[in-house]
Amino acid sequence: MIDEQGDTLRRGDDAADRVSPSEQTTIQIPAQHAVDGIKRPPMLEAAGSFLSSHGPIVKKVALGVAVCVVGAAGFAGLRQLADAPADPGAAGNTTQPSETTSQTPDDVADGVRRNAAGQAVLDKMAEAIENESRATFLGTLDPQAKAFDEQARTVYSNLGKLPLATFRMRYVSDDPAALTPDRQTELGGTEAWLAQVEVSWQITGYDLKPARETLPVTFVTRDGETYAASFSERFVAGQRRPIWSLGGIEVAKGEHSLVISLDSQADADDYATVTDRAVESVTKVWGKNWKQKAVIYLPAKQAQMEAVLGAQPNAYTQIAAVTMAELDTPQAGAPTRIVANPKLFDELGKQGRRIVLTHETTHVASTATASPVPLWLAEGFADYVAFTAVSVQDESAAKELFKAIRAGKVPKALPAPEAFAASSADLPVAYESGWLACRLIAEREGQSKLVKFYRAVHASKSPTGLADAFRTVLGTTEQEFTADWQKYLKRLAGV
C-alpha cells in the first residue's frame, strides 16, 4: 500500500488494533525512494503468470516503496517445461533442446525404463526426508556430483526444519536430448538425462492441501545404479522454485504464523510477531471462520524473491510483498504464501510492515487468489482492514485520489480491472478509490455489513453476483452507490 510520491513515515508507538474508519490520525506516509518517472516493473509477462480470475492484481498502497500483489501462480505445461530453453546460468547448457519427434517402440520402452529408475530414486529421497534418514538421502546422490552434494545436503537440512505433514516426489516427464554433449560427458556414467519432477509438500497446521512445484532433476546411471545429479539443471522462464531449494533457511514460528527465511540477517521472530498481530487484526474484521494462520517467505535478496515467484529479473525491485497460491491452479484451500521483500520491509518500518502484512493476510483469509470479487472490492477491502488496524491520515492514504479530485477529475465509476495493471497510470487512484468505497459501506451500513457484502460477492456463482449483493445486502444498486461514493469522495477532498 504505497504511494510513490508519499511523504515521510512517522515511526511512533503502535496504533490501537481497531479504530473508527474516520479516525485516521497517527501515521504519515513514507517517501518513495525511486525518482519520479521510473517505469514500474511489468507484472509477470512470462508463461505461468500470476493471475486471479481477473488478471494480474498489483497492490499499490499509500505507504511508500512497496507495491503488494495478489495472485495465483500459473503452472507451465509439462511438455513446455521439458522443451524449455536452458537456464543461461546452468553449467553445460548452451544450446536448445532438439525438437520433439515421433517415438518408436524402443523410445517408449526406454522412457518407461528411465521413469522407473528415476521414480525409484525419488521414492527413496522422499522416504528419507519423511523418516529423517540422512544416510538414505545421501545414498541417492551421485557420488561424483560434488557441487550438487552440497546443495542437496542443504535441501535435506531445510526440509528437516519444516513441520511437514507430507512430502512427495513424482516423476512426470523427461527429455533425453535436453542435456548437451558436453554436459553428458561431464556427468559420465552409462546414461544421463533430465526429468521434470513434481514435488509436493504440506506444512502441518497451515496447509489444507499440499503445495506443488515442478523441479528439474538430472539423473545419471553408473555401475548399474541410478542417482540424482542435479536439482537445478534447467528452468523455463516463469517456472517457480521452492524456497527450500534456494539456500539455507531459518524457521520462526509464532502463534498464528510461520516465517521461512533465507536471510540470516533478518529477525524472523520479529516478522512472526508482526504477522501474528496481522492475523488477529484480520480476524477482528473478517471473523474466525478461516484457518487464522499465515506463512511468510522471507528471501535474502531480490533474485531469490523472483525465483520463488517465477518472475523476470528486476520485476520486483519496488514491491514489498506478494500473496501467491503455491499450487498449479487457483482454488479454495490452496496453500497460500506471503512473499516479502526484506529490504523494502526494513525501509517501511514497524508500522508500515504491519499495514502491508495485514493487507496481505486479508487476502489469505478471504482466499483472494481464487475469488470472483472485482478488484476494487478485493483490494479496497484489504486496505480497509489494514487501515482499520493501523490508523492512517486520509490526506496521506488517499493523496493521489484527492489530488485528482481537486483538479476536477472525480472518478466516473468504481475502478475497472485494467486500472489495477502494473503499467496503469491510474494505479494509485484505483487502490485509494477501492479503499474509500469499502470504507463508505462500513460507515453507512456498519463493518459487519461490509463483510457480508464481500462474502456474498465471493460466494456467488452468478455473473450478476455483484449487482445481486448490492441489492440484497446493501439495498441499493451499483449506480446509486457510485453516485453516493462520488459525493463522499468530494466531501473528503474538500471540494
- The string of pLDDT tens digits covering residues 61-83 is 334 333 344 433 222 222 233 33
- Which residues fall within 8 angstroms of residue 42, CB to CB, at 6 or more apart? 312, 315, 422, 423
Q: 333 in the Ramachandran plot: left (φ > 0), alpha (ψ -120 to 50) or beta?
A: left
CB 166 within 8 A of CB 127: no
Which residues make up the CATH 1.10.390.10 domain(s) of the chain? 50-75+247-493
CB 244 within 8 A of CB 337: no
CB 286 within 8 A of CB 451: yes
Tell me the percentage of the chain whose pLDDT exceeds 70: 78
- Smallest CA-to-CA distance from 321 within 301, 300, 337 is with 337
pLDDT at 5: 26
- Which residues fall within 8 angstroms of residue 37, CB to CB, at 6 or more apart? none
- The amino acid that residue 207 corresponds to is D
Q: In angstroms, how far is CA 393 from the centroid of its own chain? A: 28
Task: Name the H helices within 68-175.
Answer: 78-82, 105-131, 134-138, 146-161
Pairing of strands 294-298, 250-253: unpaired
Element (H, E) at 220: strand 211-222
Query: Tens digit of pLDDT for each residue in 194-221?
Result: 999 999 999 999 999 999 999 999 999 9
CB 335 within 8 A of CB 207: yes
pLDDT at 85: 37
Give me the CATH code for the 50-75+247-493 domain, please: 1.10.390.10
Query: pLDDT band at residue 328, thresholds of 50, 70 and 90?
Result: low
CB 85 within 8 A of CB 96: yes
Task: Name the H helices within 225-287.
Answer: 268-286
pLDDT at 424: 78
**Which residue reads 517517501 in cell numbers?**
31
Here the cell at position 489 is 469522495
Higher pLDDT, 28 or 320: 320
pLDDT at 99: 43
- Rounded to an integer, the average pLDDT of 412-419 is 94
Q: What's 147-202 look like in SS3?
A: HHHHHHHHHHHHHHHCCEEEEEEEEEEEECCCCCHHHHHHHCCCEEEEEEEEEEEE
Q: Angle at the Cα of 73 (from 156 to 294), degrees rounded to 5?
A: 65
- Which residues fall within 8 angstroms of residue 212, CB to CB, at 6 or more apart? 75, 198, 199, 200, 326, 327, 328
Q: Would you identify the CATH topology of the domain 78-237?
A: Nuclear Transport Factor 2; Chain: A, (3.10.450)
- Which residues fall within 8 angstroms of residue 216, CB to CB, at 6 or more apart? 81, 194, 195, 196, 197, 230, 231, 232, 233, 234, 235
Here the cell at position 181 is 554433449
Element (H, E) at 307: helix 302-309
**Whole-number mean pLDDT of the chain?**
80
Helix (H, G, I), strand (E, B) or coil at 223: coil
How many CA atoms, within 13 angstroms, populate the side-chain half-sphere of residue 378? 32
Which residues make up the CATH 3.10.450.50 domain(s) of the chain? 78-237
For residue 25, pLDDT beyond 60: no
Query: Tens digit of pLDDT for each residue in 29-62?
Result: 222 222 222 222 222 222 222 223 333 333 433 3
